[in-house]
Amino acid sequence: MAQGEVLSEAVGRKCIYLIDDLPAELDPFNREKVMQQLVQTSAQLFITSVEATAIDTDSLGRSDIAKFHVERGILTG
C-alpha cells in the first residue's frame, strides 16, 4: 500500500490494487484491518478469495462494493 501511495503521488492518479486470495495469508482480525486501510485509499480494488464468505464487505460501510462469483467459468454477480 505504501508503494501504491508513492506511485499515486508521482503520477497524480490513484493506482489499482490487485490482491490475490487475501484470506489465505491473514487471520480474520488482520484481514479486516487491511481491508479498512485499502478502502481508505479510495483506490480501485480487485480482491480474490477462494471462499466466498471469507471477505466481509458489509462491515466496510460502503455501498459501492460489488461482489462477483466465478464457478466453472460462469460469472455471477
Those residues whose C-beta lies under 8 Å from the C-beta of residue 31, and which sit 6 or more positions away, are: 22, 23, 54, 55
pLDDT for the residue numbered 44: 92
| pLDDT (mean) for 24-34 | 91
pLDDT band at 66 (very low <50, low <70, confident <90, very high): confident
| pLDDT (mean) for 41-45 | 90
pLDDT band at 8 (very low <50, low <70, confident <90, very high): very high
**Of all helices (H) and strands (E), which one includes residue 23?**
helix 22-25
pLDDT for the residue numbered 19: 93
Pairing of strands 69-71, 44-47: unpaired
Those residues whose C-beta lies under 8 Å from the C-beta of residue 35, and which sit 6 or more positions away, are: 22, 47, 55, 56, 57, 60
